[in-house]
Amino acid sequence: MLDFSGQVVLVTGAGSPKGIGRTVAHTFARQGAQVVLCDINQAGVEANVREMEEKGWKAYGAVADLCNPDSVKALTEEIVRRYGRIDVLVNNAGLSQKVTVEDMTLEDMERIFRINVFGLFLMTQAVCRVMKKQMYGRIVHLSSVSAKRGGGIFGGAHYSASKAAVLGFSKNLAREISPYGITTNCVCPGLINTDIWKSLPKEQAEAVIAGIPMGRPGETQEVADTIVFLASREASYITGEEIDINGGQHMD
Ligand SMILES: NC(=O)c1ccc[n+]([C@@H]2O[C@H](COP(=O)([O-])OP(=O)(O)OC[C@H]3O[C@@H](n4cnc5c(N)ncnc54)[C@H](O)[C@@H]3O)[C@@H](O)[C@H]2O)c1
């Protein structure tokens, strides 16, 4: 167990009922953190916060649209007003769409980039201002195996491109914020056992599994445990890095 007592952790996109963000929030809270769950989905975020409060964990829910600069500013100010600091930011919110390049519209491209890249930028910028004053912070971004090998199963080329942009963004950011005691790292999950995976027809699922040396999808807990390590005080000399969590589907 890593100790996050006294730390304030913000997880974006944490309003999904079976998503990675929910498990990430649970894992930090179990290890003592005050967790702020934010999402554009109000009902989802409220349900996830309620569930955590019933377990006796410290959870606060906020509705925010990360694509809207005013919303991001208001969220950041609210967290600082309530808790005085932000120790960890997990940029988990994201969007995917299955479409070929031939059928893709400029609007599709913009929608995916707006949340996966521009929203991530806005949230990171706002939180970095707080972390710089503290001279401490940990940022973990959700990229994807699709950034490195192409997706094609659940996402189009715009999704892969947006997740590759996250890798470059994080590396550049690492050079800027290291002097302030802030680290920034990415995780690149492969296929994870969320609702979207379960929606795949059996034959297609078997074909995908055949390409994974471990012969199974990953669990949200396996992603969360890696994120929590990167966000810990113990990961103090790791920055600008990306960690694959894909059962060997892609190795580099
Ligand atoms: N599930 C996988 O297999 C997998 C694999 C690789 C990477 N990822 C990445 O991990 C992250 C989480 O994936 P998931 O499957 O749990 O996703 P999910 O769809 O279950 O959850 C994403 C959440 O982001 C929220 N969101 C979307 N737009 C938003 C906005 N503008 N403002 C605030 N919140 C917004 C959604 O409401 C949703 O609750 C995503 O970034 C995804 O790309 C997932």
- What domains sit in the chain, N to C, each tagged with a CATH number? 8-245 (3.40.50.720)
157 CA distance to ligand 1 centroid (A)?
17
34-61 average pLDDT score = 98
**Residue-level pLDDT at 221:** 98
Average model confidence (pLDDT) across the chain? 97
E strands present in 123-219: 137-142, 182-189
Asked if residue 119 lies in contact with residue 68, where contact means CB atoms within 8 angstroms, the answer is no
Q: Which residues line ligand 1 (CB under 6 A)?
A: 12-13, 15-16, 19-21, 39-41, 44, 64-67, 92-96, 115, 119, 142, 144, 189, 191-192, 194, 196
From the CA of 22, give the closest atom in ligand 1: 16
* This prediction's pTM: 0.98
- Active-site positions read 159
Asked if residue 21 lies in contact with residue 11, where contact means CB atoms within 8 angstroms, the answer is yes
**Residue-level pLDDT at 1:** 83
pLDDT at 77 over 90: yes
d(CA 93, CA 16): 10
Query: How would you classify the pairing of strands 137-142 and 88-91?
Result: parallel
Classify residue 218 by its DSSP letter.
Answer: B
> CB within 8 A of 229, min separation 6: which ones?
2, 235
pLDDT at 152 over 80: no
